[in-house]
Amino acid sequence: MKRMLLLMFFSVLMCGQVLAQSRVITGKVTDAKDGAPLPGVTVSIKGTSKGTITNASGDYRIEISGPSDVLVYSFIGYGSKELPAPEGALRNVELVIDDRTLQEVVVTGYVDIKKKDVTASTANIDGSKINNKPIQSFDQALDGLAAGVNVNVQSGMVGDAVAIRIRGVNSISNSAQPLIVVDGVPLNTATNLNVFNSGNGTRFNPLADINPNDIASVDVLKDAAAAALYGSRAANGVIVITTKRGSKGAVNVGYNTTLGWARGARIPKVLDGDRFIAIQNEKASNANIAAVAADIDVNQDGQPDRTNWIDEVFKTGFSQTHQLNFSGGGDKAQYYGSSEYADMKGFVVTNRLRRGSGRINLDLTPKPWLKAGISLYASRALNNGVLSDGLLAGSTVAGYNAPPNVPIYNNTGDYGGYYLNPANRDLGNGNNNVAFRLNRFFHPLTTVYMGRNDNQSNRTLASIYGELTPVAGLKITSRFGIDYIQNFEDQYSGPDQAGLGFGFNGLVQENLLRLNQWNWSNFASYSRTFAQLHNMTLTAGVEYQYSKRTELFTGQGNLADDYFKYIYDGLFAGTDNSFTGGTASARAFDSYFGRLAYNYGGKYYAEFAFRADAYSGFGINNRRGYFPSGSVGWRIYEESFFKDNIDFVNDLKLRASYGVVGNSEIGPYAARTLYGGGQYADVNGLSMAQIGDPNLQWESSRKLDIGLDASFLRNRISLVLDYFNNDVDKLVLDAPVLRTVGVPASSVTTNIGAMRNTGFEITVNATPVESKDFTWRTSANFTSIKNKIKKLVDGTDIISGSNRASVGRPLGVFYMIRWAGVNPQTGYGLFMDKTGTVKMYNPSPGVATADRWTTPDGSTKVTAITASDAVYLEGVTGYPTWFGGWDNTLSYKGFELNIQVQFSGGNSVLNTTRQGLMTNFLQNNIVEIEKRWTPTNTNTSVPKIFLTDNITTQTSTRWLEKADYLRLKTVMLGYTFPNIKQKLGMTNLRLYVAGDNLALLTGYSGQDPEINTNRTANIAFGVDSRGVPLPRTFSIGLNASF
């Protein structure tokens, strides 16, 4: 009994001790500025899930477990506080408004500027929006993330080119791509490393060499004030990439992996075998021609042969990326390193990109006045390309066109077992009458399985810098960087492959491209504050750049045996089919630049920047150009009359800028008179190849920007507004000269054109909800833009297909014959002539050519519709006139849901994919053709079909479609495991699932309104010619760190 009483006594004593440790803390949370109570503040115990929120009076009550507990006070728009548990039961806390957004830094490459002090137009994209995405290059992720930045992912082929336009297109004949800078070093400006088929065979985007997971942030410099220090290279804007670097603290090791599956999102629906035969023979019947399509049974299984070529060409792609990284450092050294392996199999058969890369970023501070560092990145990529759009032999084009009533394979085993025509190795004819086809049928699979279209890219990006601070406020920097690219393009066409392979009895072609560039910058910055109010920063420097491009080409046909697929001595028959060649070019810059920034008490701002560039590619009379800019700003918020009277506004700044920047992206010898090998009668010699212009100079962009930055409701909402006007003059164009003077191409390249881009941008960032467990952050941007050509050579249009550059109209305006629909009584197509008069075309057999064009009722003959009846479609171009995005992140405890929406519109796309697949010749068609006019189906937009009728399907507005769209770009759901350090010794463990390009709302009937098979062309923009659909991707991933 005594023992029981003793046990009870000690139990009560222990409970008393526990109760003494576990106690309740109460208090009030207020605004440090005015003492106002703050409702909704989260009060939690650090390292646990235990917490509460303040009530409407700012009061809170929380139970702690012991004196070692740390209380965390956090509230949107305010800085968080961590305080140890008080000795007593009361803890009142004051929170200070958090101005972190104002302290964020805009990176320009030469100077870093606090966001609150920026008087230029810029945009920042956090690396988290780019990391862990199923993409081949970082530029694919930018669309919809920043106002003024329009990105066209123009094809579903892995590694293909991407078009980036910042505030519209700013050139007609030269590149409109922005300058890209990585860690202060400008990249080579090439947009495609492959050269075969004039660069339109298999393409490779050099930005696919760069690991997106290494990127910490992307800054977009949009106006002249932001980009002026890049002078002659800044007309198209500048994208500044900052890679991840180390920081002080313990060593952190991370592993990231992503697995993804992709399919074509909107693949054309073509006819199956039975419907193909029916439609082709209906074409023939309407034209009084015998049947042109019939079954065949090559494998003799008693069933007619059928092939779904779309399923043979388009598969499910699989991608995987694995990255290992480490970072850390102390007071004198910080480091970041990573290695990556990516294997991305596209959804087009055999299309694949593999990349391995490694990075080391090291920053050293051996003395307080000395800092130095290196950045070294190396990558190697192997791209298994596939010929696609633009080529009849391309597997995708061939797959769209091929008759589905013939087999894949033959029954003899010849030609690798594929069903081929013995005469030319085209796809076998079957029992189809190919005399009525428009183009040859290539076997969709022999292109990829009997040949190769590979390229292997090796890239080294490296820089070394030193910073010296001899006195307070003065920093002297020297930075030397290189961008070395070597691309080996390797193409093989087998002897049984239609085209070059069959023609040359096997053909190997190889091209070695080297792009070597170095850049050396030396500059000094001095910052000082006078009388506590006058803040000044002065920067001055010099910069030199040298780029060299070399190519070596070799080819060999008539290989001794189809076993040999590479060039080796003695393994080809004779030397008649040997090819060699090579090119070399170089260009260089030397530059001087300076910047003076002043602000008075963080209230009034003025900035002036200047750069003088000399470029070797321009004429001797205009080799150096001068690019000034200026900007001013007024932080109204800092005025006492505003700050003391308006509480809901936390910052308000007006800014304006104006400056001149240039575009130097022309050929390295565009200003030179060039000579090359020539022949006069039978005499060999030299002849003039190009007439130079000693006055040739930069295209010049005069940029005006007026903007407003504001934040509201304790920084819960921020707003950025910009109006911009970009006057581009001295556009480089080919001016015609009389043919009788003997000038090559009868033209001289000179500065003669002008155009203008104007528009406005809106960006809104907000945190509508932030509570203890749930947070919703959202960001939306919208851009509206207009373009107008002001001047061309003699006011004459520049023609590119159905698009034109025309004075007084937007660039790329469509110039076309107008389609007027289908006559419901006859099924014949209707067109408008130049005056708007409707005419009907009757392709019926037995009607004389001169009698085919009539009035819509068929009673009167009229003149034919010809190219002279084409008209300007005023205001209609392939360039969007408005675009933007909406990004949302919702967090609940450990869960995080990210939803990105992208939209664009105001433009049209010429859907020549649809035009080509609605042909009246013998060829497979899309299912739309089944809506054709028949006596029982008279209310339709598809005319009656007649074999070989190519007038009804001619290029007209019938194929021009509005390209407005709303895309569900990304949905990502992640879960971060709590208390993972205590449980597993890890610092982070996150799993996620994601979907990309999940849904598309559009009236466009083609594969995707974003596709542009003319890629980076400036005039003929907005053409979809059998483009490869964009992928729809589902992925899972893991982020782990220790």
H helices of 62-203, in order, are: 100-103
Per-residue model confidence as pLDDT tens digits over 352-395: 999 999 999 999 999 999 999 999 999 999 999 998 887 888 88
Mean pLDDT of 577-594: 92
What does the pLDDT read at residue 926? 97
DSSP-assigned beta bridge partners for residue 539: 525, 595
User: Which residues have CB under 8 Å from 847's CB, separation 6+?
Assistant: none
pLDDT exceeds cutoff 80 at 155? yes
What does the pLDDT read at residue 854? 97
Mean pLDDT of 819-836: 97
Lowest mean pLDDT among 49-58, 241-250, 475-484, 959-968: 49-58
Give the pLDDT band (50/70/90) at residue 833.
very high
What does the pLDDT read at residue 2? 45
For residues 201 and 712, the model is more confident at 712
What does the pLDDT read at residue 292? 97
Give the pLDDT band (50/70/90) at residue 1019.
very high
pLDDT exceeds cutoff 60 at 422? yes
Mean pLDDT of 210-236: 91
What secondary structure does DSSP assign to 286-324, as a single string? Answer: HTT---------TT-SSS-----HHHHHB--EEEEEEEE
Are β-strands 829-832 and 838-841 bridged in parallel, bridged antiparallel, or unpaired? Answer: antiparallel
Give the pLDDT band (50/70/90) at residue 14.
very low
Give the pLDDT band (50/70/90) at residue 673.
confident
What does the pLDDT read at residue 11? 44
pLDDT exceeds cutoff 60 at 260? yes
The H helix count followed by the E strand count for the chain is: 11, 51
**Sign of the C-alpha dihedral, residues 739, 745, 751, 756?**
positive
Give the pLDDT band (50/70/90) at residue 738.
low
What does the pLDDT read at residue 710? 95
Rounded-to-integer distance, Cα 734 and Cα 747, Å: 6
With beta carbons less than 8 A apart as the criterion, state whether 843 and 852 touch: yes
Rounded-to-integer distance, Cα 340 and Cα 355, Å: 8
Per-residue model confidence as pLDDT tens digits over 327-349: 999 989 999 999 999 999 999 99
Per-residue model confidence as pLDDT tens digits over 130-143: 988 888 888 888 98
pLDDT exceeds cutoff 70 at 573? no
User: Which residues have CB under 8 Å from 1011's CB, separation 6+?
Assistant: 154, 155, 909, 1024, 1027, 1028, 1029, 1030
Where do the domains of the chain lie, and which CATH numbers do they carry?
22-98 (2.60.40.1120), 105-261+317-402+442-736+753-805 (2.40.170), 813-1041 (no CATH)
CA distances from 35 to 94, 697, 745 (A): 8, 62, 78
Amino acid at 126: D
Structure tokens at 868: 């002279």
Give the pLDDT band (50/70/90) at residue 287.
very high
Lowest mean pLDDT among 49-53, 339-343, 401-405, 418-422: 49-53
Mean pLDDT of 653-660: 96
Give the pLDDT band (50/70/90) at residue 1013.
confident
User: Which residues have CB under 8 Å from 955's CB, separation 6+?
Assistant: 802, 816, 817, 910, 912, 915
Q: What are phi and psi of 643, to 5 degrees?
A: -65, -35
pLDDT exceeds cutoff 50 at 868? yes
Per-residue model confidence as pLDDT tens digits over 186-212: 999 888 999 988 767 788 899 988 999
pLDDT exceeds cutoff 60 at 1? no
pLDDT exceeds cutoff 90 at 456? yes
Give the pLDDT band (50/70/90) at residue 40.
confident
With beta carbons less than 8 A apart as the criterion, state whether 181 and 158 touch: no
With beta carbons less than 8 A apart as the criterion, state whether 435 and 456 touch: no
What does the pLDDT read at residue 681? 67
- Predicted TM-score (pTM) of the model is 0.89
Rounded-to-integer distance, Cα 667 and Cα 700, Å: 17
What does the pLDDT read at residue 574? 64
Lowest mean pLDDT among 331-340, 358-367, 434-443, 528-537: 528-537
User: Which residues have CB under 8 Å from 781's CB, separation 6+?
Assistant: 144, 145, 146, 147, 761, 762, 763, 764, 884, 885
What does the pLDDT read at residue 99? 56
For residues 40 and 94, the model is more confident at 94
Place of tokens 């507004």: 721
pLDDT exceeds cutoff 80 at 741? no
Mean pLDDT of 478-495: 95
For residues 808 and 685, the model is more confident at 808
Per-residue model confidence as pLDDT tens digits over 885-903: 999 999 999 999 999 999 9
Q: What percent of the chain has pLDDT over 70?
A: 96
Give the pLDDT band (50/70/90) at residue 18.
very low
What does the pLDDT read at residue 4? 45
pLDDT exceeds cutoff 80 at 679? no
Per-residue model confidence as pLDDT tens digits over 895-929: 999 999 999 999 999 999 999 999 999 999 999 99
Give the pLDDT band (50/70/90) at residue 945.
very high
pLDDT exceeds cutoff 80 at 969? yes
